[in-house]
Amino acid sequence: MPKRKMSDIVFQRISPPDHQKTLSPTDMSNVLVRRLGLKRKESRAEHARLLLELLKYRKDNVPLSIEKISEVLSVSQSQTYEEIRKWRSLGLLEFVKIPAGEGFVKGYMLTGGTVNRLLDKAESSTKSFFRKTRRIAKDFDDLLMLEMARAQKGTETEEENKEEMLQDEENN
């Protein structure tokens, strides 16, 4: 499994459109996509529609090809890989090969059958990201404190050397 790049996690404050009398699955999928930051800012891709399609195909246990995903997102196939990068980095989407007849069906599939399962995956991924970041921050703090201690010790040593030189000059 390739190493995930988690540095592009973005969370946005979006609440459900409560002003509407009835909420549709499309409304809710828009909210989820925005809250998880799955859609790139400059993109016109339809990620909410992709979420609904992926859930439908997940129930049938059928992976979506990159061609089908690009069709659902309404973008080119080359741009599709960039569009699904955040999905993959959060662990929501994975590439699978499922045996079918004499060959395999290859494509992308959601890692969970429900949105709650997907959120569990995203939560696990983000917790792992923050644990690693905390380790880096601890190492950074340790290095910073060590450098500050060395710098302080260096200034004390310089002051002692100056005092010794002054005493030597007075004695001579």
Query: Mind listing the domains of the chain with CATH numbers?
Result: 1-172 (1.10.10)
Q: Which pLDDT belongs to residue 152?
A: 83
Measured CA distances, 29 to 55, 77, 98, 159, 163 (Å): 11, 22, 27, 66, 73
Measured CA distances, 141 to 34, 103, 127, 148 (Å): 34, 53, 21, 10
The string of pLDDT tens digits covering residues 52-96 is 999 999 998 899 999 999 999 999 998 999 899 889 988 899 999
Question: Any idea which residue has 């459109």 for tokens?
Answer: 17
Give the length of the chain.
Answer: 172
For residue 38, give the 3-state DSSP assignment: coil
pTM, two decimals, is 0.70
The string of pLDDT tens digits covering residues 88-130 is 988 899 999 988 888 888 999 999 889 999 999 888 888 988 8
Q: What is the C-alpha separation between 130 and 136, in angstroms, rounded?
A: 10
